[in-house]
Amino acid sequence: MKHYFLTLIALLPLLHFSQPNTDVFLFDLNTEKGGFELSNMKNISDNIGYDNQPSFMDNNTILFAGTRNGQTDIVKYTINYDSKIWINHTEEGSEYSPLKIPNQSAVSAIRLDKDGKQALYKYNLRNGESEVLVDDIIIGYHVWFNDNILVSAVLEYGGLSLFSTNFKEQKNYNLQDNIGRSLHKIPNSDLVSYISKENDSLWEIKSVNPVSGITKSITVTLPESEDMCWLPNGTILIGKDDVLYKYNPKTDVSWIEVASLKEYGITNITRLVVNSDTTKLALVDEIDKK
């Protein structure tokens, strides 16, 4: 794929690269008998600067973007050992939104170089070596549908558009314009969810089949909330301020409050993710700078 350089500096604020002081927090999660109980909060980044975009590599391992020496690199945190290691050290730029690549000992991440080039890279988990995956569209956020198809939010026309990339075909397909940053594989399905912002005042969670391009509406988001995740049982979890809400498309008619995190000092929930056995929840909150 060709090289593509980001020259429109005005696009940058759309991404996560305007860096607030954020941290990644981990909770034990108990959903037995239909409940939702959080306990044992731990700040696993515990770092001054931008620490964000957590994802579970497996039930015991979390990837996130962490700040060190004035730039952002990929961190791997092992829950059982409460240990962190840095996967890479890229002098040319910073990495964001790390995800495990299916069926590979590798991680994908957005890299923003100091010269303005922005591309999706692959990082070897054994030695940190990197190679370009996609650089002919400007990917801001992404999720793996399978090891051959990627779904992404691409910067164009001053906003984000929904794309799928087929690596075997070496082609990118535009599926919809005006979307949000939250992309997720829907459990037990051949679908990916995304946030449609076609209606500025009423954002929708929609599904897309990345192969056929067929989209369907699932529900509306909470007002101006777009960070969400799926539980393995098909329930959606979304945060607003200090409160978590759930919605199951099969059983619920509206969003239901399940937890307030005010007692933990968390006031602005953004990114959140749950592991595959529903025992851990990781989320991001902005730290008070006072």
Cβ-count burial 141-159 (b if 16+ within 10 Å, e if not): bbbbbeeebbbbbbbeeee
Q: Give the E-state strand segments of 79-197 in sequence order.
A: 83-86, 93-100, 106-113, 118-124, 130-134, 139-144, 149-156, 159-166, 171-177, 184-185, 192-196
Helices (H), 128-260: none
> What pLDDT sits at residue 60?
98
Q: Vertex 181, ends 154 and 265: CA angle to 5°?
A: 150
Torsion 132-136-141-147 (CA) sign: negative
Residue 227: give the domain boundaries.
Answer: 9-286
Q: Which residues pair with 119 in a beta bridge?
A: 111
Q: Is residue 1 part of a domain?
A: no
Q: Is residue 242 part of a domain?
A: yes
Q: Is residue 39 part of a domain?
A: yes
Residue 279 has which token pair?
A: 């025992």
Residue 254 has which token pair?
A: 């509206």
Q: Is residue 113 part of a domain?
A: yes
CATH of residue 264's domain is 2.120.10.30
Number of C-beta neighbours around residue 17 at 10 A: 15
Q: Is residue 118 part of a domain?
A: yes
Distance from C-alpha of 290 to C-alpha of 286, rounded to nearest angstrom: 12
Number of C-beta neighbours around residue 247 at 10 A: 21
Cβ-count burial 223-246 (b if 16+ within 10 Å, e if not): eebbbbbbbeeebbbbbbebbbbb
10 Å CB burial of residue 176 (0-12, 13-18, 19+) is middle
> What pLDDT sits at residue 8?
36
- The pLDDT tens digits along the chain (290 residues) read 433 333 333 344 344 445 789 999 999 999 998 899 999 999 999 999 999 999 999 999 999 999 998 899 999 999 999 999 999 988 889 999 999 999 999 999 999 999 999 999 999 999 999 999 999 999 999 999 999 999 999 999 999 999 999 999 999 999 999 999 999 999 999 999 999 999 999 999 999 999 999 999 999 999 999 999 999 999 999 999 999 999 999 999 999 999 999 999 999 999 999 999 999 999 999 876 43
pTM over 0.95: no
Q: Is residue 244 part of a domain?
A: yes
Distance from C-alpha of 195 to C-alpha of 217, rounded to nearest angstrom: 10
Cβ-count burial 255-264 (b if 16+ within 10 Å, e if not): beebbebeee
Q: Is residue 183 part of a domain?
A: yes
Q: Is residue 107 part of a domain?
A: yes
What's the number of domains the chain is made of? 1
Distance from C-alpha of 180 to C-alpha of 205, rounded to nearest angstrom: 10
- Pairing type for strands 22-30 and 130-134 reads unpaired
Whether the CB-CB separation of 153 and 15 falls below 8 Å is answered with no
Residue 17 has which token pair?
A: 């690269």
